Amino acid sequence: MKTLVFLETVDGKLHAGSLGVLSRAAKLGGEVAGVVIGSGVAGLAEGAGAYGAQVVYVADDARLESALPQPRVDVIAGLVTAQGFDNVLFAQSVLASDLAAGLAARLEAGVNWDLAGVEERGGELIGTRAALGDSVYVEVAWKGTPRIGIVRSGTYAAEETGGSARVENAAIELQDFSTAAVLVSQDRAEQSGPSIEEADIIVAGGRGLGAAEHFKLAEELAEVLGGAVASTRAVVDAGWYPYATQVGQTGKTITPKLYIGLGISGAIQHKVGMQGSGTIVSINKDGHAPIFDYSDLGIVGDLHTIVPKLVELLRARG
């Protein structure tokens, strides 16, 4: 088997998540290559050898500077066609997901996403994933090659084994439509603010709080419990609360002893960031909200009546 791993670069470094997938790919056996795409990234390629890549292909070009998926589809499609890779693996990210799906269409190849594992069985690649909001576990496979897989973030740790890689240039032929979308500006969210990663108790607020000013309720509850306040992407995108407090796939991963969710539906992308919490309590007025599937105590009710009372009771306990 010949496997190619997309090595995403962030802030001039190879992303740990993709190095984790590379480490896993190295254990699948066969030939393992990585591909680094960007502008001024050539120097990063060799480093991937230590994580199991025998060859690292580099596409270094000013037109590839922004982290946009479509020109990367052009590069990887060319590489897969020229080199005949059987597997193309990605560590899940906003960029990698769009890239993998675009590649699937370009190469008429199958893509399985949200993989919690990949293994080799009799020359075939087999993936495991949870489906339907993690309510069933599924073993998945591919018909034909290349097989494209997107591995759920945090699945594999990067393991340095100390090899070295041969570096080769990849051909860069970009389609007109691939370079039509351009990055206009970037707003790197400030990393300061309350640290939710160290807190033992987290009160997380979602869109069910109804308005930015109602985060006061979450803050009061967190204060009386001695915890910190976290949030969902929906409220961060709405500008209700800072990005530094976002939990989930594109935010932070937390493992507090206690997580209390207020008005959070519990979408899978939020769940992946908080499922390691010791005890999960949630309040949601919709009895069908997915968060109840993984709460130790689920309260179907209106947070606006329950939380003030809860704060009062906890204060009275002293």
Partner 1 sequence: MRIAVCVKSVPDAGSARRIDGGTKRLDRSADGVLNPYDANAIEEALRIQEATGEGEVVLVSLGPEKALDGIRKGLAMGADRVVLVSDDAAAGSDLVATSYALAKALERENADLVLFGQQASDSDGAVLWAAVADRLRRPLISQVAELTVSGSSVTGKRQTENGYDTIQAPLPAVVAVSDAINEPRYPSLKGIMGAKKKPQDIVSLADIGAEAGRAGEAGSKTTVLTLSPPPPRGDSKKIEDDGTAAEQIVAFLEEKKLL
Ligand X SMILES: Cc1cc2nc3c(=O)[nH]c(=O)nc-3n(C[C@H](O)[C@H](O)[C@H](O)COP(=O)(O)OP(=O)(O)OC[C@H]3O[C@@H](n4cnc5c(N)ncnc54)[C@H](O)[C@@H]3O)c2cc1C
Task: Quote the CA–CA distance of 16 and 8 in Å, as a whole number.
Answer: 9
Q: Is 264 in the site for ligand X (CB under 6 A)?
A: yes
The mark string for 231-250 relative to ligand X (x by CB under 6 A, - otherwise) is -xxxx----------xxxxx
Is 62 a residue that touches partner 1 (CB under 8 A)?
no
- Give the integer Cα–Cα distance in Å for 55 and 74: 19
265-304 exposure pattern, b = at least 16 Cβ within 10 A, e = fewer: bbbbbbbbbbbebeebbbbbeeeebbbbebbeebbeeebb
Under the binding rule (CB under 8 A), the answer on residue 138 touching partner 1 is yes
Q: Which CB sits closer to ligand X, 32 or 262?
A: 262
Q: Which does 208 bind (CB under 5 to 8 A by kind): ligand X, partner 1, none?
A: ligand X
Q: Of 94 and 189, which CB lies nearer to ligand X in the complex structure?
A: 94
DSSP 243-290: GGGBBSTTSB----SEEEEES----HHHHHHHTT-SEEEEEES-TT-G
- Using CB under 6 A as the binding rule, whether residue 275 contacts ligand X is answered as no
Measuring CA to CA, which residue among 269, 307, 308, 277 is closest to residue 294? 277
Within 67-126, the residues that bind partner 1 by CB under 8 A are 67-70, 73, 93-95, 97-106, 108-114, 126
Q: Is 198 in the site for partner 1 (CB under 8 A)?
A: no
- 2 interacts with ligand X by CB under 6 A: no
Compute the distance between CA of residue 24 and CA of residue 230 in angstroms, rounded to an integer: 32
Q: How far apart are CA 253 and CA 247, in angstroms?
A: 6
Q: Which stretch, 23-31, 53-61, 162-170, 276-284, contacts partner 1 (CB under 8 A)? A: 276-284
- Which residues of the shown chain bind ligand X in the complex (CB under 6 A)? 94, 206-208, 232-235, 246-251, 263-265, 267, 269-270, 273, 283-286, 289, 302-304
